[in-house]
Chain A
Amino acid sequence: MADAQPVTEEELRRLSEFLYRRTGMIFTETKRYYVQRRITDRMEATGATSFASYFARLRSDAAGEVEQFINAFTVNETYFYREDHQLRCLTQDLLAERVERRPRDRAIRIWSVPCSTGEEPYSIALWLLENWAQVDAYDIEIVGSDIDTRALKAASEGVFGKRALMRLSPELIGRYFEELGDEQWRILDDIRGSVRFTAANLVETAETRPHGQFDVIFCRNVLIYFDDASRRVAAENLYENLAPGGFICLGHTESMSRISPLFEVRRFDDAIVYQRPRAAHG
């Protein structure tokens, strides 16, 4: 039976550094307790008796431990209004900047990649309808893309269970979903018709490029799973898929600082986001 000892500050820093180098994951001071817990969980799961032996296992990636650790840390469950601080940032800051001096007839384009079974792109649609005063003034195109075509099929069907809707108020559910019974809800056809779903692999330029340029890209919790070379290519693809001055939102444990110098970091009240510089290059 594993007898896991508490992890020291220095050990925590070493592990954080390793994960940062290897995956681009970043842990702020406020998440320290959470990180401690996850390490202890993984030590127990792997039967490691000391931090050193667990760390050796993680470093050599024995039995895919790096991915296991990321999984333990990243809630891979997707649900409506997840990480809503970024959605707040979208309507409070990002879009205001994107529509400055923009002709009314130029559509705003938003990309959710990977979009899994559709919760994120539909959340963006609902959030804009509910929270953005200028929603009627612009055409808004929302695209959801994923490498997994089964997920895309489910996404375009737009049927969700109770857990996916747990963060939505009954009013919102009533307004945008029809109840199918059996704890299943289908998102209204109007919303369903407003999101386009496509297959795309972020490291395949031939697949990303046809999507054109976006004003805002949501790209959460996927780059951390890539190796360094793929991350570099993905960053260049994402750069191309952003309009100059466009924004990219990563997951809350991800940092572009390990991935690519192509973007500039911007801090808003609700989120840190990355921006393709406005000047074309330089």
Chain B
Amino acid sequence: MAEASSKRVLVVDDASLVRLYYRDALERAGYQVDEALNGLEALEKLHAAPADLLIVDVNMPQMDGFTFLKVLRRQALPVAAIPALVISTEAGAQDREAARQAGGNFYLVKPVSQETLVEYAAMFCGAAP
């Protein structure tokens, strides 16, 4: 697996085992992983330290993933442009469309395997060759 040493991924999901599963895969692939339990916490985390990729769930307490992306995308800061991979349990066409409109760059339906996750992470934040 290629080293993605300095790349930072922020996983935004309220389910702790989902975050653990993603972290496990991403760290083994060489990414630095940070976590947030909801959209508001993610905004705070991004103010403190930016990321190269966001992995975002939809249904979360306090601020859902779509609202989070909408708020993020209208900030006049570099963090506004971070690519976001939305991974949700919602499989409907209107959910994909809502994710696109909110500013998600790609949409995957849960459950996602570690292999798939790492593949997409490499695609979006260009893991070092």
B41 x A272 contact (CB < 8 A): no
Q: Which of B32-40, B90-98, B107-115, B116-124 contacts A (4 or more CB under 8 A)?
A: B32-40
B47 x A267 contact (CB < 8 A): yes
Given contacts A17-B37, A20-B37, A21-B37, are A257 and B16 in contact (CB under 8 A)? no
Which residues from chain B contact A278 at a C-beta distance below 8 Å?
none
B40 x A14 contact (CB < 8 A): no
Instruction: Indicate if A28 sits at the interface (CB-CB under 8 A).
Output: yes
A260 x B48 contact (CB < 8 A): no
Which residues from chain A contact B43 at a C-beta distance below 8 Å?
257, 265
B37 x A255 contact (CB < 8 A): no
A13 x B35 contact (CB < 8 A): yes
Instruction: Indicate if B81 sits at the interface (CB-CB under 8 A).
Output: no
Interface members, chain A 199-254 (any B CB < 8 Å): none
Instruction: Indicate if A10 sits at the interface (CB-CB under 8 A).
Output: yes
Which residues from chain A contact B48 at a C-beta distance below 8 Å?
28, 267, 272
Interface members, chain A 1-51 (any B CB < 8 Å): 10, 13-14, 17, 20-21, 26, 28
Instruction: Indicate if A261 sits at the interface (CB-CB under 8 A).
Output: yes
- Given contacts A257-B38, A258-B38, 6 further A-B pairs with CB under 8 A are A21-B37, A26-B44, A257-B36, A257-B40, A258-B62, A265-B47
Q: Give the interface of B toward A (CB within 8 A).
A: 16, 20, 35-38, 40-41, 43-44, 47-48, 61-63
23 contacts between A and B (CB under 8 A): A10-B20, A13-B35, A17-B16, A20-B37, A20-B41, A21-B37, A26-B41, A28-B48, A257-B41, A257-B43, A257-B63, A258-B38, A258-B61, A258-B62, A259-B62, A261-B40, A261-B62, A261-B63, A265-B40, A265-B43, A267-B47, A267-B48, A272-B48
